[in-house]
Every structure is written in structure tokens, then in C-alpha cells.
Amino acid sequence: MMERLLKPEDVFNKLDPHRVAEEIREPLIRSVEDITREVAAEYQPGLWEAAPESVKRLVIQRIQHEAPHMVEQIMEDIKSNITRVFDLKDLVINALVRDKELLNRVFWKPATWSSSSFAIPEFILALPSVLFRRWCGPLPTTFG
């Protein structure tokens, strides 16, 4: 039923990989140093420890420079393999199982009527919230 309501291909195809890379550029670049140091220390501990700080800095700067392009490339790869990468049914089920309040709201709230006089089940309207929570965590309760 989910596939008839919302197709992951349709949603993902609306995303511009370049714009996504630009939107996450700053937090990505800030986190690259910590991630690089952690991964290098785990997978090449002797080499990383022995490398001069200037070499470590060059490696980190290179990764920071390449990271946005890698995000674009990953998104393009996902677009071409979305059905192998993304399971909408599993995503929705897991989100509803984790968030009992959302589950109750989705299935127990009365249906909303549209201007064309047909019922739109509440769970269709809740899908963006489910997807956002799955990818980004809970929504903020207050702003400002």
C-alpha cells in the first residue's frame, strides 16, 4: 500500500544533489576532522600516530575539500539504486513502532476531507514527519 501512496524514487528524484551538498557543507566539513582522526587511528593506528601533524592536516584538508563532491556522488548512486537502498515500508513501520504517539495519531485521528470531497487518511499527511524523524531525529517542540 505504501508504494501506491509514496514512491521513494519520486521523492528522491526531487532532491538536487548539489543543493543537498551545499546545505550540509558546513556541518560536514566541521565533522570531517574528528571522523578522519577516529577512522585513521582505528584502521591504520601505527601509520597515523607516526605521521607528522602537517601530513595529518593535509589529509584532513583534502577530505574536507572532497566531502561535498562525495555527497553529490553518493546521492547520484542512491538515485540509480533507490529500491535496493531504501525500503519505505520498513522505514515507516520502524518509525511507527518507535513513536507510539505518532502511531496513535496516524490511525486514531479522524480522516481529513479535501476540497474534492474524498477522505485523505491521516497517515498520508504524517509521512513527511515520519521520514524526517527517521533521518533527523525528533522534531523540535519550540522554536527560537
Of 41, 58, 85, which residue sits at a domain end?
Answer: 85
Structural domain that includes position 20: 1-85
- 79 and 92 in a single domain? The answer is no
Residue 107 to residues 6, 8, 96, 102, Cα–Cα distance (Å): 18, 22, 10, 9
Mean pLDDT calculated for residue range 81-103: 79
pLDDT in tens, 15-29: 888 888 888 888 888
- 13 and 45 in a single domain? The answer is yes
Q: Where residue 143 falls among pLDDT bands split at 50, 70, 90?
A: very low
- 73 and 21 in a single domain? The answer is yes
Mean pLDDT calculated for residue range 92-107: 79
- 56 and 93 in a single domain? The answer is no
- 2 and 21 in a single domain? The answer is yes
- 10 and 51 in a single domain? The answer is yes
pTM over 0.85: no
pLDDT in tens, 52-66: 999 999 999 999 988
